[in-house]
Amino acid sequence: MTTPPSATPPTSTPPSATPPTSTPASATPPSSTPVTAPSSTAPRPAPWVRTKLRAAPLGTLLGAALAFVAVLLAAALPRAQDRGADQALRSFLERSAAGNTSLQVTAPSPDSGQSAQALDATLEKLLGPTGSTFRVDPEKTVHGARTTKRQPLLNPELSKPSGLPPSMNLLHVRQAESHVKLAEGHWPSSTPTAPVQAVPGEPAPLQVALSQKAAATLGARVGSVLKSESRVDGTPSVEVVGLYAVLDETDDFWTDNLGCLARACEHYYNESLAWDVDALVGTGDLDRMSTWSRTAEDFWQLPVDIGHLRADRLDATRKDIASYIAGPTAATLARETGRARLHTTSWLPERFEEARARTQAAAPLAAIGPAGVGGVAFVVLCLAGALAADRRDAELRLLLARGGSRAAIVGRLLGEGAVTVLPAAAAATALAVLLLPTPRLAPALLSAAAVALLTLLAFPVRAAVLLSPARPAGRWRRPVAELLVLIATVAAVVEVRRRGVAPPGSDLDPLLIAAPLLLALCGGLLLARIQPVVTGWLARAAGRSSGLVGFLGLARAARGPATTGTQARGSRTGPSVLPMVALIVAITTGGFGAAVLQSVDSSRLGVARLTVGGDAAISAFGKSPLPAGLAKAAGELPGVRTSVPLWIDHDSSLHGTTVRSSQVTVIVAEPAAYAELSRVLGCGSFDPALLATGGAPSADAPVPALFSASLAGQAEKGGTYTVQPGDGEELKVRVAGLVDCTPAHPARDAATVVLPTGAATALMGGADHPNRWLGLGDVDGDRLRELVRSKLPAPSGTPAPAPAPIPGSGSAAGPAPLDELYPVHTSAEAVIALGADPLQRSAQRLFWASMAGAAGFALLAVLLTLVRTVPERAALLARLRTMGLRRRQGVALILAETLPQTLAATLGGALVAAAAVALLGPAMDLSTLVGAHVPNGVRLTAGPVLTQALGLAALVAAAVCAEAATSGRRQITTELRAGDQR
């Protein structure tokens, strides 16, 4: 009969070579000095953590590397989002005019006692409440006083282009002298003007300084006394005592609410031109400024420092600005400054609201990538914990059998993980903070701590589950969990379809952005149910053939890996769900995000083409024709597929409709080419046969025409009407069809009439010389501009530039460059301009970086699954090799076992991604990402989804093949050594 082992684990200290002998009490020497026991020479027990880490150095390093990468991504993604949001906010505000980012404070000037010191003291009090959520740069503030109404200058020698007298305002600007250079005379006096009267009953003139350019325009000089209308209260005149030159007219100091200090401004009364000028007053005449226009006001312009604004504090900043404009802060400032009528205005609240709406619109794309990589990383960490627990299952159960408690074992495992994970997590967090500086630290720390905690607990929790007493298997647990996931997915999809991914005016709901992940999880769970059944069918079909490799590999793929522990060896649990879920999540999020970006690119190209009128356009101003031969030469350039010369008249009239006469835009074009242009641009497609004239028409025969939809209520199809171009000629037309828009004038509500060349050109003067050219194809803008320059007429015959084209006429918005008489625009350049927003670029960069991380983690999930079954598979291969299995057949066996799950996950991921686009895509607003207003919706195309699915599948298949080739080379003698415990 054998003695059962002791419940107490054996000590690591070896027994002494000479056991101590007990001494009877009678043998004790009669000495009062106690006998000292000999010191023990036995070695102390080795520390548990150090021993275990040294026993598996490779596993320790891999665990630390996994923790480092996971925590680095977790800490870096929030900081990258913050940096992108801050950069987008500042760029958006910088593109606004300087006055739109300033606080404009005004107050009526005091009736008496006005001084520069009072203005400066008020400025100090106005700067007091700033500095919390927003700050004002004191070096860029502008403050002073100004009159509120321009007064006409009645001097007969002054310039009067249309017979109207020039008008003048007076300003005192405290910072003006640092932005100008005195060119002639002297600055106005800083002491009050002597009350000596030049003429009895008239006050002494105010001393002013005028810019050189304004003086030259008016015809004034130093010493000129400029007089205004006399009033009973004695409106003073002004004396020009100095002329100054502006150092930099492009400086915001001059372009922002300072009137006409730098030069004279043009002012039109109907078509009559008059000059407006402003003059600088010295501190000596501050108290008399109001006599120029009866009233004056003090002003303080406080530019908000855009570089210190943060997107995460935008709501708090908006509240503080609103309080400064009309709230507690405004009331406090009015009381402290002693100016009861202090008034503050600013465009910043509106700009902040626009910036917040833009951020919300771009948030889904910015969140899809991090959510995808987070889901895949969670699966990988769970797999890594399961792999470590399976590898040490026998050791852990032995410790439990030798008397160790579950709590003590889990505590030791936590100690092992802390030594490995915590230093790696701390280093990763520090690196993310160093590489991506941003003021906000809390999100990165929380995200890094959560991932580090998951990495630390994955193995101990799995070990605690393995060491728990076996419980009866509940068949209801998995179906209930899957049902809960399905319910959550349906709720998320319904909510997205009802509210949209980013509802206007609200922050992004995590449930809404989790909808693609929930769809991927549902797909993974469904595929985990279907894949073993389908693989089993394939295995049975392969079993009917003579080969063994296919049947054995597919059978093992359908059954899954063998279980370990107390269960019977050789029992199977089915294929692992986690790696399949990881692949499907990566493919779904990648395919959905790629479909979003593809829709953004296609929408942006469509907007650019409608803005330009095609892929390239050459415009002439007004009715001026293009140079002779230019349209034909442009159509012969390399890359041009369709050439459409046009004649456009925006000043035509349509007679005979229900409103008798209405202004329309007439477009004369070759029907076939114009129909092709309309079809490609998706703007008013029509059959060119509608504009066929059927031979040479007579002068009285109506010409077929296409009317815009806006004219449908005024004209009926088949009716005959009269078109009168701006030159006064008339042309009878009949309505051959209606179009909702037209490429040459794409505004949906524009009143347009499209006529065919031939009949129209013969009956309308000037229509035989096109004034617009539109083209389709890959057109080089620089080459097209060179062609235009080569066709320009001689300098003596060069026509003067005319005003800018009419907005919405199909040409690019804004005036033509000064060096181009015939501006050239291309859709490629318009696409670049639309995509230049930092908000779009940061969202795209964050998405692709996240997708790269998700692909890496998905690949790691597959590799961990392969590593988990390496011992069993290697033993099988070794035994089969002894029975004649060749090495190539061994590799084929491994591929037959591992690739079905990968291929199934690829197909399932592509289908789930397509379903996500179909279900969630219509709820996304792409206007912010496109850069222009476009209809909502992500279009489902096969390219982006298949690219993501096939790319990840190829990466995983290559890794599987590499692992299979490595496993096939294992030595048989090593795998079949005596005492093998597999």
Tokens of 222: 């130093």
Task: Give yes or no for a contact between 961 and 895, defined as CB atoms under 8 angstroms apart.
Answer: yes
pLDDT at position 675 over 70: yes
Q: What is the CA radius of gyration of the chain?
A: 41
pLDDT at position 250 over 70: yes
Map 841-910 to HEC letters.
Answer: HHHHHHHHHHHHHHHHHHHHHHHHHHHHCHHHHHHHHHHHHHCCCCHHHHHHHHHHHHHHHHHHHHHHHH
What does 705-748 look like in DSSP terms, one character per residue?
Answer: EEEEGGGTTTS-TT-EEEEE-TTS--EEEEEEEEES-BTTB--T
What confidence tens digit (pLDDT) does each residue in 30-55 have?
Answer: 334 444 444 445 566 657 677 777 77
User: Given pLDDT bands bounded at 50, 70 and 90, which one contains residue 285?
Assistant: confident
Q: Is the dihedral of CA 513, 516, 520, 525 positive or negative?
A: positive
User: Given pLDDT bands bounded at 50, 70 and 90, which one contains residue 312?
Assistant: confident
What confidence tens digit (pLDDT) does each residue in 613-671 have?
Answer: 899 999 887 677 888 888 888 888 888 999 999 888 888 888 877 777 788 888 888 88
pLDDT of the residue at 324: 93
In sequence order, which residues have a C-beta less than 8 Å from that of residue 178 and are 6 or more positions away? none
What confidence tens digit (pLDDT) does each residue in 496-519 have?
Answer: 888 776 665 566 677 777 888 889
Q: What is the average pLDDT across 882-901?
A: 77
Burial class of 969 by CB neighbour count within 10 A (0 to 12, 13 to 18, 19+) = exposed
Tokens of 363: 């948030």
pLDDT of the residue at 240: 93
Record the pTM: 0.77
Show the CA angle centred on residue 631, arms to residues 627 and 634, nearest 5°: 115
Distances (CA, A) of 600 to 431, 635, 743, 930: 34, 30, 21, 5
User: Given pLDDT bands bounded at 50, 70 and 90, which one contains residue 570?
Assistant: very low
Residue whose token pair is 């810019």:
211
Q: Given the DSSP bridges, would you call strands 142-147 and 167-173 parallel, antiparallel or unpaired?
A: antiparallel
Tokens of 109: 């000037």
- C-alpha 392/C-alpha 445 separation (Å) is 32
What confidence tens digit (pLDDT) does each residue in 40-95 have?
Answer: 455 666 576 777 777 778 878 888 899 999 999 999 999 998 998 898 888 888 88
Q: What is the average pLDDT across 566-575?
A: 45
What confidence tens digit (pLDDT) does each residue in 218-242 have?
Answer: 999 998 999 888 765 566 789 999 9
Longest dimension (CA), the chain: 151
pLDDT of the residue at 976: 55
What confidence tens digit (pLDDT) does each residue in 845-877 have?
Answer: 888 888 888 888 988 888 888 777 777 777 777
- C-alpha 806/C-alpha 813 separation (Å) is 9
What confidence tens digit (pLDDT) does each residue in 772-781 have?
Answer: 899 999 888 8
Distances (CA, A) of 50 to 45, 63, 73, 417: 11, 15, 29, 12
Distances (CA, A) of 483 to 477, 487, 494: 10, 6, 16
pLDDT of the residue at 866: 79
